[in-house]
Amino acid sequence: MLFHVRMNVSLPTAMPADQAAKLKADEKALAQQLQNEGKWRHLWRIAGQYANISIFDVASVDELHALLTALPLFPYMQIEVMPLCRHPSSVRDNDL
C-alpha cells in the first residue's frame, strides 16, 4: 500500500543543541534504513520549511503507524497521511 505522508517538524526552541543534533542523526539513520528496505520510497524536503513529503510503501496502515511512531522526531511532528491508489490515466505501469 502506498501512502503520501507530510511531516512538519517543530523542535522546542529550548531544546539543547546536542540533544537536537542526536535526534536528527538518529532520524536520518532510520530514514535511510527504511529507504534501503524499500518502505520509505520517496523523501522530499519542502523548500523553506522544516517539513517533508514522503511516499511510504508498506503492507498496511498498522505498519505505517508503527514506522511513523518509531521515528525519533515523532514527538515533535505534525503528520498528515493520505492513502494512495493507482490512477487509471497513469502511464507508469511499474509504480503500483
Name the DSSP letter for residue 19.
H
Three cell numbers at 67? 514506522
Residue 91 lies in a domain: no
Instruction: Give tens-digit pLDDT for 74-95.
Output: 999 999 999 999 888 988 877 6
Per-residue confidence (pLDDT) for residue 96, from 0 to 100:
62
Residue 68 lies in a domain: yes
Per-residue confidence (pLDDT) for residue 2, from 0 to 100:
96
Residue 90 lies in a domain: no
Residue 26 lies in a domain: yes
Q: What is the CA radius of gyration of the chain?
A: 15
Q: Could you give the CA distance from residue 56 to residue 83 in angstroms, rounded to a whole number?
A: 10
Residue 60 lies in a domain: yes
Domain span at residue 9?
A: 2-84
Q: Could you give the CA distance from residue 17 to residue 58 in angstroms, rounded to a whole number?
A: 33
Task: Give the number of domains in the chain.
Answer: 1
Instruction: Give tens-digit pLDDT for 20-74.
Output: 999 999 999 999 999 999 999 999 999 999 999 999 999 999 999 999 999 999 9
Residue 7 lies in a domain: yes
Q: E strands of 10-75, at which residues?
A: 40-45, 51-57
Residue 92 lies in a domain: no
